[in-house]
């Protein structure tokens, strides 16, 4: 039995988790035989890169984002389409895909929170529920295998179902950004750094610390332990993700934001 101490920055964690998600047998089966639906989001963009084998402007592969100390939305001109693949090839009709998907297909959606019970939730700011509002019914009623890639940097101590009761886009009197609702995803299978190391190297990963400074903000520190051969794989995997660069900031313009009227900063409430 060997043991290692590893610190991962948020982008390094995202890359690690992305590699693990793609390696999951459910994903590999769906890539060969069915649908893989990847909803937009920064972590999901890493997964798209791993599947497509090409670089994506990941900072632009999202709509809602927490950036510069506030909840926000990216410029509408940069809003991307969800990536839907059928038998590994692009499928241009997301709604048609949702109608056809079943338990052997895969839906991938990132999250904003993971709690002490490994339950996850995502922000929704659009009045129609945004991505989760438009897809949740299809995926949960048909038993679509839903994966939530989420780093432990998003760990929250409060159960997400309790937090969700406190939120809603019209629930706040003031704030530091776009007002949002927290929406639990009860049927999802979360993949954190813990699951990622188990999937990729068959080693145990135990989170023991979090945070940092000087470019390590949001980091997660883990103890890895396992048999010699597995730990060698873990070492190589860790080397492969170390040095993953941070995403570039996007350019914001609150005056053209479609949600300015329900955003604390956009409406001048704060």
Identify whether 228 is part of a domain.
no
CA pair distance 93, 83, nearest whole angstrom: 10
CA pair distance 90, 87, nearest whole angstrom: 9
From 136, 141, 126, 151, select the one nearest 63 (Cα to Cα).
126
In 3-state terms, the chain is what percent helix, strand and coil (to 5)?
A: 35, 25, 40
Q: What is the pLDDT of residue 73?
A: 80
Identify whether 2 is part of a domain.
no
What band does 268 get if pLDDT is binned at 50, 70 and 90?
Answer: very low
Domains identified in the chain, total number: 1
* Residues of the domain holding 188: 10-193
> Is it the case that residue 56 has pLDDT exceeding 60?
yes
Identify whether 157 is part of a domain.
yes
175-193 pLDDT, tens digit per residue, is 888 899 999 999 999 999 9
> Is it the case that residue 251 has pLDDT exceeding 60?
no
CB 185 within 8 A of CB 109: yes
Q: What's the CATH code of the domain at 179? A: 3.40.50
CA pair distance 85, 76, nearest whole angstrom: 24
Identify whether 259 is part of a domain.
no
CA pair distance 114, 153, nearest whole angstrom: 9
**Strand locations in 95-203, DSSP E?**
106-108, 113-114, 120-124, 145-149, 181-184, 188-191
Identify whether 3 is part of a domain.
no
Phi, psi of 248 (to 5 degrees): -75, 145
Taken as a whole, the chain contains a residue count of: 270
Q: What is the pLDDT of residue 247?
A: 86
Residue found by looking up tokens 């995803």 in the block:
185
Identify whether 163 is part of a domain.
yes
Within a 10 A sphere around the Cβ of 91, how many other Cβ atoms?
16
Identify whether 234 is part of a domain.
no
- What are the angstrom distances between the C-alpha of 84 and each of 44, 45, 92, 209, 239? 12, 12, 7, 36, 30
In Å, the largest CA–CA distance within the chain is: 58
| Mean pLDDT rounded to a whole number for the chain | 91
> Is it the case that residue 29 has pLDDT exceeding 90?
yes
Identify whether 1 is part of a domain.
no
DSSP 246: P
Q: What is the pLDDT of residue 63?
A: 83
Which whole number is the average pLDDT over 96-112? 97
80-102 pLDDT, tens digit per residue, is 889 999 999 999 999 999 999 99
């Amino acid at each position: 039995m060997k043991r290692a101490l590893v610190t991962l920055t948020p982008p390094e964690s995202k890359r690690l988790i992305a590699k693990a998600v793609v390696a999951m047998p459910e994903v590999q089966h769906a890539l060969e035989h069915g649908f893989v639906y990847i909803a937009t989001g920064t972590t999901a963009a890493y997964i798209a890169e791993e599947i497509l084998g090409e670089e994506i402007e990941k900072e632009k592969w999202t709509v809602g984002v927490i950036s510069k100390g506030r909840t926000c939305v990216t410029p509408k001109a940069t809003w991307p389409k969800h990536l839907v693949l059928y038998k590994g090839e692009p499928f241009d009709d997301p709604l048609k895909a949702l109608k056809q998907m079943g338990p052997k297909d895969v839906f991938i959606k990132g999250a904003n929170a993971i709690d002490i019970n490994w339950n996850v939730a995502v922000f929704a700011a659009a009045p129609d529920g945004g991505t989760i509002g438009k897809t949740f019914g299809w995926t949960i009623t048909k038993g679509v295998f839903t994966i939530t890639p989420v780093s432990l940097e998003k760990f929250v101590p409060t159960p997400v179902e309790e937090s969700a009761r406190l939120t809603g886009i019209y629930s706040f009197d003031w704030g530091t950004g776009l007002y949002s609702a927290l929406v639990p995803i009860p049927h999802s299978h979360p993949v954190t750094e813990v699951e990622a190391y188990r999937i990729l190297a068959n080693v145990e990963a135990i989170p023991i610390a979090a945070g940092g400074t000087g470019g390590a903000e949001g980091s997660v520190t883990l103890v890895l332990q396992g048999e010699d051969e597995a730990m060698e794989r873990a070492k190589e995997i860790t080397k492969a993700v170390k040095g993953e660069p941070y995403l570039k900031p996007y350019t914001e313009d609150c005056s053209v934001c479609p949600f300015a009227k329900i955003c604390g900063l956009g409406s001048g409430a704060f």
